[in-house]
Structure 1
Amino acid sequence: MSFSLARFLAVLTKEFIQMRRDRVTFAMMIGLPIMQLLLFGFVINSDARHMPTLIEVNDDGPLVRAVISGMRMSEYFDIQGSVSGAENGEQALREGSASFVVVIPDNFERDVVRGLRPELLVVADASDPAAIGGAVGAMDGIVKVAMTETFAGPLAGVAPAPAPFGVAVHRLYNPEGSTTTNIVPGLLAIILSMTLVMMTAIAIVKETERGTMEMLIATPARPMEVMLGKILPYVLVGYVQTVLFLLAGFTVFDVPFEGAWRAFFIGFNLFIIVNLALGFLISALVRSQMQAMQLSMFTILPSVLLSGFLFPFAAMPGWAQVLSNVVPTTHFLRVVRGVMLKGGDISDVAGELWALVALLIVISAIAMMRYRRTLD
């Protein structure tokens, strides 16, 4: 049989019509490359800048003001204000409201002039070692510029040479700068997000394809009852994954657990339920298992790139940081690292827990509204 242009065009037209009808797949083909381009082009940056910084000033003078001014002019430090006492500074680091606390000791300038080489202390949140490297390295340049500006003209010979004071960096929560200590806790958030969303979405869509969902819709069960009944069995799956992860983290990777178990327990339960609700929502938006898998993968990319798992959160542009707040993984990642590495309690991660609650309410409400539409 010879090649028929008419038959070829008929099949070609049919494929374009089918592609147009399969809106989820078509949107993935267009949306996923655009998202990858934007995220990889604008968001990914390992050189974190504008790190929130607090200053504990116990001495005031021209040299101190020059150092602080140099930090303000630098792109690495974003001075949020002052703090008093080591306890308040550490609390800010533990809560995540500051990445650095710079301590100016008592009689700093007097000791500089006398040649006693006092030390300017920089206390850093080293739970993510990649995030603080650039800022710590920039301190030497800031100090040199401050010295040049302060001891100039008639004061050029006042400061002893070669270095009138030093900069001591105290790395909290990960003093060895181990990448494993930072990455492994974050893996729990990524693993739960990847598996629970996809499993829930595919399992529910599978029932739709087989026709059993129609029988469930015909029952008097309400949307909330169906939603809870479908997602709660997968909570057990999340528990199993979490237990296996913790055992591996403690025994194989020697990851510490410094904080309160109750804060971790509340956080991972909320995160599990949020992901299952998201999987339920995806199942209400698609009609096939392939679409469910595609849309699930679409949600995983922001979880990996926007949450601060692989790349420093502070290195992202402002719009990406705002967008990351609607990604559940972002908040759970802060809970896990805040509890396991920083020794946080419920009060230290309360903001992230409430954010997970808000996301759960929004996702659940949309999922139930969409589920009601499927009853028509």
Structure 2
Amino acid sequence: MTGISLRRLGALLRKELIQMRRDRITFAMMLLVPLMQLVLFGYAINSDPKHLPAALVAPTQDRFSRAMVSALELTGYYDFTHVGISATEAEALITRGAVAFVVTLPSDFGRRVERGDAPQILIEADATDPSVASGAISTLGTVAAEALQRETGASPTQPPVGIVVHKRYNPEGITQYNIVPGLLGVILQMILVMMTSMALTREIERGTMENLLALPATPVEIMLGKVVPYMGVGAVQVAVVLLAARLLFGVPFVGSFSVLAAGIFTFVLALVILGYLISTLARTQMQAMQLTFFFFLPSLMLSGFMFPFRGMPGWAQTLGEVFPLTHFLRLIRAVMLKGASQPDIAQPMAALLAFVLVYGLLALARFRRTLD
């Protein structure tokens, strides 16, 4: 009995292969996770984002203004999506995150260039994510000078324009100001989805699901009974992370706490309902953990937490919009760093509410099917 029997070994291998085939979730994870990592890292990740949306505030449209705009667009970093707007409108756009840059030209820009007075151009950059603006800012001086020198024929030793760069919201380019608020969303998603997803599967594995179903409770009541306690866990995590952000990392908080609290509550509610939805799909706690990881990985990469969101190709940005973390990162950074008000975060807030509704309806529908 001490030797190896090929017959017994073959029987054990067949048994294991049959078990793997029956566990379709594990088998799919083995194939899809490496493929997903290859696609995301190979195609979607770009640390030098280009074609960033920009706004132009220029009271007059002369040939020098047009030359400046064309030169900036030719660099590949700037896409002027809003042209000929007022300073107030531009301020609202950069606060909402609709544009990454605001380029302001003085009303007498053309006349001063012709006189050789070297007028100044103000370029305001959304520096909440320092890596997004660095490449675009580094090209400004050379591009602007060459563009106007071609128009005026001035000597290269006499720069025809001065560039004033104002890095908004994070002038020192401190990475923690961008990372730490985002960590709140990442931590909440990782813990709450996993814990909640294991709630219903734990009942099935322990054999207590029959007792739960015997109670005179509706599916909504059962779902609320499962998710509400984990919302309390989320509240503790929020308090810990926000205190650490302020006391340990010095992250500024210039917005309204009530606006931020409403966004966090909606995000946490979406996460716990998503976890409950996963628990209706999985049969074991291991499957629940695997499904959670399969959701967590692309969400982390495509949300704008690890890599600049605007640096990804269009299809990756579209895919990133289906994750609640993407919208929560926009919300929390806008409130904490920009002081955004409720109207400024209306879009990400509406997206989070939509996730709550969709996840809730799917969870209830799936729960009823599992009862049949």
* TM-score scaled by length of structure 1: 0.95
Match of 1:293 among 266, 283, 289: 289
Q: Which amino acid aligns with 1:181?
A: Y
1:74 correspondence with 2:70? no
CA-to-partner distance for each residue in 1:48-97, whole Å, 9 max, x for gaps?
A: 11111110112332222111112222311111022533322111001111
Would you say the 8 A contact 2:149–2:160 is kept in 1? no
Q: Which amino acid aligns with 1:70?
A: A
1:23 correspondence with 2:24? yes
Whole-Å separation in 2 of the counterparts to 1:178 and 1:374: 49
Query: Mapping of 1:248-263 within 5 angstroms?
Result: 248-263=244-259
Hey, what does 2:227 align to over in structure 1?
231
Match of 1:165 among 161, 164, 176: 161
CA-to-partner distance for each residue in 1:17-70, whole Å, 9 max, x for gaps?
A: 100111111111111111111111111111011111110112332222111112
Whole-Å separation in 2 of the counterparts to 1:71 and 1:283: 51
What is the CA distance between 1:219 and its match in structure 2?
2.3
Whole-Å separation in 2 of the counterparts to 1:89 and 1:44: 29
Provide the alpha-carbon RMSD of the alignment. 1.4
1:194 correspondence with 2:190? yes
Would you say the 8 A contact 1:83–1:89 is kept in 2? no
Match of 1:368 among 364, 367, 370: 364
Percentage of pairs with the same residue? 48
Hey, what does 1:243 align to over in structure 2?
239
Instruction: Quickly say closer, same or farther: Cα 1:193–1:200, change in 2 above 3 A.
Output: same
**Higher mean displacement: 250-259 or 110-119:** 110-119
What is the CA distance between 1:10 and its match in structure 2?
1.4
**Higher mean displacement: 34-43 or 180-189:** 34-43
Hey, what does 1:137 align to over in structure 2?
138
What is the CA distance between 1:225 and its match in structure 2?
1.2
Would you say the 8 A contact 1:53–1:101 is kept in 2? yes
Match of 2:263 among 264, 267, 275: 267
1:37 is paired with a residue whose SS is: helix
Instruction: Quickly say closer, same or farther: Cα 1:354–1:266, change in 2 above 3 A.
Output: same
Instruction: Quickly say closer, same or farther: Cα 1:83–1:197, change in 2 above 3 A.
Output: farther
**Higher mean displacement: 250-259 or 6-15:** 6-15
Match of 2:344 among 348, 361, 365: 348
Whole-Å separation in 2 of the counterparts to 1:123 and 1:261: 26
1:41 correspondence with 2:37? no
Would you say the 8 A contact 2:54–2:79 is kept in 1? yes
What is the CA distance between 1:360 and its match in structure 2?
1.2
Would you say the 8 A contact 1:120–1:166 is kept in 2? yes
1:93 correspondence with 2:89? no
Q: Which amino acid aligns with 1:62?
A: R
Whole-Å separation in 2 of the counterparts to 1:14 and 1:218: 36
Hey, what does 2:309 align to over in structure 1?
313
Instruction: Quickly say closer, same or farther: Cα 1:181–1:90, change in 2 above 3 A.
Output: same
**Higher mean displacement: 225-234 or 133-142:** 133-142
**Structure 1 gap ranges (5+):** none
Hey, what does 1:281 align to over in structure 2?
277
CA-to-partner distance for each residue in 1:298-334, whole Å, 9 max, x for gaps?
A: 1111221111012111101100100111100001111
2:80 is paired with a residue whose SS is: strand
1:324 correspondence with 2:295? no
1:84 is paired with a residue whose SS is: coil
Whole-Å separation in 2 of the counterparts to 1:285 and 1:321: 27
Q: Which amino acid aligns with 2:86?
A: G
**Structure 2 gap ranges (5+):** none
Hey, what does 1:221 align to over in structure 2?
217
Whole-Å separation in 2 of the counterparts to 1:220 and 1:33: 45
Would you say the 8 A contact 2:44–2:313 is kept in 1? yes
Whole-Å separation in 2 of the counterparts to 1:217 and 1:35: 38
